[in-house]
Structure 1
Amino acid sequence: MGKYADKKVVITGGSSGLGLATARSLVDEGARVLITGRDEDKLDAARDQLGENVIAIRSDAASLSDIQALTDRVKAEFGTVDALFANAGVTGSAPFEATSEELLDHLLTINAKGPYFTVQKLAPLLPEGSGVVLTTSAVNVLGLPMLSAYAASKAALRSMTRSLARELLPRKIRVNAVSPGPIDTAILDKPVPPQVAEQAKALAAQIPMQRLGTPSEVTKAALFLAFDATYTTGAEFAVDGGGTQL
């Protein structure tokens, strides 16, 4: 029997990157996992990779109707949920002077509004002792150029972690955040402006541990917060090679 045998977990944004790595760790240890994503091809690939203990459904974190449909599906498949990893998110960059209303709305909708209503809708399915983990980012405490809108969306999520932790405390549900620094995932491989690519390289060079992190390192932190950190709520766990701490 694995460490997470019989556990039921929902991971939004679970078809790639940190979400996929976390789903793989859970499945390997016996959990049943429901993952979401917006790309059908990636979802199909993730399902094939992870096996029969995974349910993969298309769901857009920006859509309240999709979030409600997700809730209905989770209730039908699992009944209750032992952990929720609200991980779905997007990146976006632009100089402050050139940041558009559309970019800011896009980032806030997916990175802040989406997790907020995901937790709200799924909270009734979370029993006492369950854990919620949100994915913030090291940039929410760093004043980096080109990322003001993205950083603001993640800072909103950090504040939300505290507020939801307080609101759900009477139900004995813990809410925490994992805060990655530069991590070697597919999301970092998307085309970005040359300035951002150079900035990412420079940031990695400035990390005290002198390297990028790996998805598995973030996964370990997320699972610790979800299951083992039983006396921790409202916290943000930095997984950034010391970048925001030293």
Structure 2
Amino acid sequence: MSRKLEGKVAIVTGGSTGIGLATAIQFAKEGAYVYITGRRQAELDAAVLEIGNAKGVRVDSSRLSELDALYAQVKAEKGQIDVLFVNAGGGSLLSLEAVTEEHFDDTFGRNVKGVLFTVQKALPLLAKGASVILTGSTAASGGTPDFSVYAASKAAVRSFARNWILDLKGRDIRINTLSPGPIETPGLVELAGPDKAHQQGLLDHFASLIPLGRVGRPEEVAKAAVFLASDDSSFINGSEMFVDGGIAQI
């Protein structure tokens, strides 16, 4: 049976944990050589061992010089990029009255500035038929208490996809947004703090809101990412795919 990404070169930013790691593993299983990025070397090294056909590069996506170094390395080693999964980012809970300039700059630096320049600087290496996948969020489609800055940053990501497909018209490069709902990842449970009981309470709360009655698994998002990365989605462009158990659809 043929693998959907055989011989492809893929980059997964934020690929050392959670959705990024699960997707990198799935890309490799489908035949891709995968570069993963992250900000912590020990986690990158462990992830590479788990993925197999991969290389880890320490990158803070909000630092343009580090993106330049990443793409210089990819160019020298592989010459092109077939799949770019722009997944690095994050956020934290903070009420409107508590938002600080530092909180805003950190969230938008990771989720907006980082996404913009990750894609822009990859353009010379993106092959004909390349797929770019941006990680969005169901938070951008509704309201969540104490999550306005994160939600706004993910709304910007969704807007990027709609506009960039026009900027790149004629290059045969697809850009889509993959928007997970609540997925059981370290990034989600840590919103509740270090207490395990509080973390489980957060997961149970989300499960009660989701029509399927449970939170998602990183592997479920990874399978959707493979679809968007492969020729199976060859006429899907500028779209938003929800992997959310239905929470944003009600």
TM-score calculated relative to the size of structure 2: 0.93
Matched with 1:210 is: 213
Question: Could you tell me how far apart the structure 1 residues matched to 2:90 and 2:73 are?
Answer: 24
Question: Using a 3 Å threshold, how does the CA distance of structure 1 residues 146 and 50 change in structure 2: closer, same or farther?
Answer: same
| Kept in 2: contact 1:13–1:36 (CA 8 A) | yes
In the aligned structure 1, how far is the partner of 2:131 from the partner of 2:168? 10
Secondary structure in structure 2 of the residue aligned to 1:244: helix
Q: Give, in angstroms, the shift of residue 126 of structure 1.
A: 0.9
* Letter matched to residue 86 of structure 1: V
Q: 2:56 matched to 1:44?
A: no
- Residue range with higher mean Cα deviation, 25-34 or 146-155: 25-34
Q: 1:168 to 1:20 in 2, by over 3 A?
A: same
Unpaired segments ≥5 residues, structure 1:
none
Aligned residues of 2:5 and 2:30 also touching (Cα < 8 A)? yes
Task: Give the deviation of 1:28 after TM superposition.
Answer: 1.7
Distance 1:198 1:105, change over 3 A: farther
Distance in 2 (CA, whole Å) between partners of 1:161 and 1:105 is 22
Cα shift at 1:2: 3.1
Matched, 1:112 2:115: no
Supply the AA of the counterpart residue of 1:114: G
Question: How far apart are 1:117 and its partner, in Å?
Answer: 0.4
Which deviates the most, 58-67 or 221-230?
Answer: 221-230
Distance 1:152 1:198 in 2: 25
Compute the TM-score of the two structures, normalised by the length of structure 1. Answer: 0.94
1:234 and 2:238 aligned = yes
Alpha-carbon displacement from aligned partner over 1:156-180 (angstroms, at most 9, x marks no partner): 1111111112211221100001000
Match of 1:79 in 2: 79
Number of equivalent positions:
245
Relative to structure 2, which stretch is displaced further, 151-160 or 218-227?
218-227
Could you say what secondary structure the match of 1:56 adopts? strand
Contact 1:146–1:196, Cα closer than 8 Å, also in 2: no
Q: Deviations over 1:197-237 (max 9, x none)?
A: 86654332111111001111111111111212111111110
- Which amino acid in structure 2 is aligned with residue 47 of structure 1? V
| Displacement after TM superposition at 1:196 (Å) | 9.2
Matched, 1:9 2:10: yes
Q: How does 1:35-184 map to 2 (within 5 A)?
A: 35-51=36-52, 53-184=53-184
CA distance in 2, matches of 1:5, 1:65: 31
Query: Identity of counterpart residues, as a percentage?
Result: 45
